[in-house]
A = this chain, B = another copy of it.
C-alpha cells in the first residue's frame, strides 16, 4: 500500500518467487525469470543474498596478485537484475510450512519476514573445517571476495614482517613459507597465483632473499587436477614445479596451529599462511530443513529441479544433487549452474502460468584452469590444450562470459595495464580489531615467551599448558593450567612484559582476548574484575613464596 509507487507490492496481489543466494544459480534464475516476465507483470521476484554483488568465481584467484582491480571480478546484483527486489541480508531461518523467510537484523533489530509462493534454494556451499584440529582457527578459506582480499593482505603482511625479522630465524622461516591444501582446480589456481605474486613482489623487499620463499601444494591423490586427464595434470605439475612450487602428493592436511601445517603421516611444515580449498559442505541453513538429502548433505532434486516431494521449492547449483541423463550427478561448476537456472526458471513460470515442465540435460562443455604467468590447461569437447594457447582461450572465454560490457571493459583494461605495470603491493587493512578469537595449540608450542610484550590474555577452552619461568638459565615450572583457567592478564593489567613463558602440553584450544576487549570487560564487568584481582593476589603470593624459597 505504502511505497507502491516504488514497485513494491505491499498487498501481494501477484505471486512471489523468492530466490536465496546470489551466485551463478540464483542470479541467472532471476535473470531468466525477468526475461520471462516480459511486458506482463503476473509475478514478482525477490532475491536475498548476504552481499550486494555477484562474484565471477573463475576470476577470483586473480584478486590475489591484483592483476585485475579489486572489484572487477564482482558485479552489483541490482544492475544485473533491474526488475528484482534485492534484499542484502543474512538469512536467519526458512519456514517451509508457513512459506516464509526471516532475514537477520539490519540497522535496527526488527525481524524482516518475507512470504513466498515459490522458493529457489541456490545457496551454494561453504568451506567447512569442522572436526579438523586447528583448521577452523588457522586455515584460510578461499571461497568469496573477502577471502581473496584477506589472503592477499595476509601475504603482504607476512612479507612485511619477514623483511624486518632479523633475529628470530624460526619465525622468519614460517613467514616465508606458504602452504595450499587441495590440488583440484581451485587449489592449483590459488597456488599458482600466490606463487607468482609473492615471488614477484618480494623483489621490492630489501630484507628478503627470493631463495628463502617456499610455496607448497598438498594433494591427497597421485597427481593434481583430478578433473582433467593425466597428461594435462602432469603438464600442470611440471609448470608449477618450474615456477618454484613444491608439490606434496599422497598426503593430506590433517591439523594446524598458528605456526605450522601438520600433514597426515606427521610431517610438519612451519608456516604462517595456510590456505585450504577443501573440504566444503552445503550452506548450514539447509542442514535443519526437513528435506531429503543426498551425498554430503546436498538436497535431492528431480530432473525438473524441484525438491523431492515439493511443488513450491526448487534447488540448484552446488547445494543440489541433480541427476544426469547419463547417470551420476551434475558437477558443481558455473556452466552447469547457469543451465540449471534456465530449467528452474522455465519450470517456475510453468507452475505460475500453467504449461509443461522441462528437464535439466547438459553434459558440460569443458574444463579450464589457469596456471599463472601466461599458462593454463583446458579440456574442451574432449580435446586437451595446454600452455599459452590454453591461457589465451581461458582469458577470452571468461572475459566474454563476464556479465555486462562495463565490467568487460574494466577487466580488459586492467589486464592490459598489468602487462605494463608491476604487481601492486598495497596492504588494505580494513578491519580494526579482530575481536575475540579462538586459537589452537599443539604440545611443545609456546603461547608466549617470557619478556614478550603483553598484547592479549587467554581463556583455556580445553587442553593443557604449563607456566614456566627462566631464572638465570634455570627453567622452573610455576603451574599447570587447564580448561576454564585463564592466563596472560598480569602483563595487561600491569602494562609490563610477560613474566613467564606459557607452553602447550596437551592439544589446547583457547579464547584469545586482545588488550582492547580485555580492558573494556575488566573495567565494566565487576565479576570479571573481582575474579581477576583474586587470581592475581594468589599468583603474586605464590611468586613471593617461590622467590623466597630460592
Contact = CB atoms under 8 A, between A and B. Distances in A.
B484 A511 contact: no
Interface size class of A (residues with CB under 8 A): 35 or more
Contact of A434 (B164, B166, B422, B435): B435
Interface stretch (A109-117, A239-247, A329-337, A463-471): A109-117
A88 to B, nearest CB: 4
A279 to B, nearest CB: 21
Contacts of A205: 78
Given A88-B427, A168-B110, A171-B107, A435 B517 contact: yes
B52 A156 contact: yes
Nearest to A87: B164
Nearest to A75: B426
Contacts of A71: 66, 70, 424, 426, 428
A484 B523 CA distance: 9
A10 interface: yes
A491 B105 CA distance: 14
Contact of A430 (B6, B149, B410, B524): B149
Contact of A425 (B78, B85, B461, B498): B78
Contacts of A452: 105, 108-111
A409 B3 CA distance: 46
A429 B51 contact: yes
A406 interface: yes
A438 interface: yes
Contacts of A401: none
Contacts of A85: 164, 206-207
A204 B78 contact: yes
B209 A520 contact: no
A184 interface: no
Nearest to A524: B459
A59 to B, nearest CB: 14
A396 interface: no
Contacts of A543: none
Nearest to A431: B431
B8 A175 contact: no
A375 interface: no
Nearest to A429: B146
Contact of A52 (B92, B426, B433, B524): B426
A298 interface: no
Contact of A207 (B6, B82, B166): B6
A525 B459 contact: yes
A478 interface: no
Contacts of A78: 204-206, 425
Contact of A517 (B209, B424, B436): B436
Interface stretch (A125-133, A311-319, A362-370, A526-534): A526-534
A525 B529 CA distance: 12
Interface stretch (A22-30, A34-42, A299-307, A413-421): A413-421
A526 to B, nearest CB: 6
A443 B438 CA distance: 38
Nearest to A114: B164
A525 B163 CA distance: 39
A539 interface: no
B421 A410 contact: yes
Nearest to A404: B421
Most buried by B among A89, A110, A150, A272: A110
Interface in A192-227: 204-209
B110 A520 contact: no
Contacts of A209: 5-6
Interface in A494-548: 497-498, 511, 516-517, 520-521, 524-528, 530-531
Nearest to A405: B421
Given A8-B166, A484-B526, A106 B406 contact: no
18 contacts: A3-B166, A3-B207, A7-B206, A7-B207, A51-B429, A70-B428, A71-B426, A79-B422, A87-B164, A88-B161, A106-B165, A107-B161, A108-B449, A108-B452, A110-B168, A149-B428, A149-B430, A430-B431
Q: 10 closest pairs, A vs B, by CB?
A: A435-B435, A431-B431, A430-B430, A109-B452, A88-B160, A406-B421, A527-B531, A78-B204, A527-B527, A71-B426
Interface of A: 2-3, 5-8, 10, 51-53, 66, 69-71, 74, 76, 78-79, 82-83, 85-89, 92, 104-112, 145-146, 149-150, 156-158, 160-161, 163-168, 171, 174-175, 204-209, 272, 406, 409-410, 413, 417, 420-422, 424-436, 438, 448-449, 451-455, 459-461, 484, 486, 497-498, 511, 516-517, 520-521, 524-528, 530-531
Given A406-B422, A409-B417, A430-B430, 6 more contacts: A6-B207, A70-B71, A87-B164, A149-B428, A150-B430, A434-B435
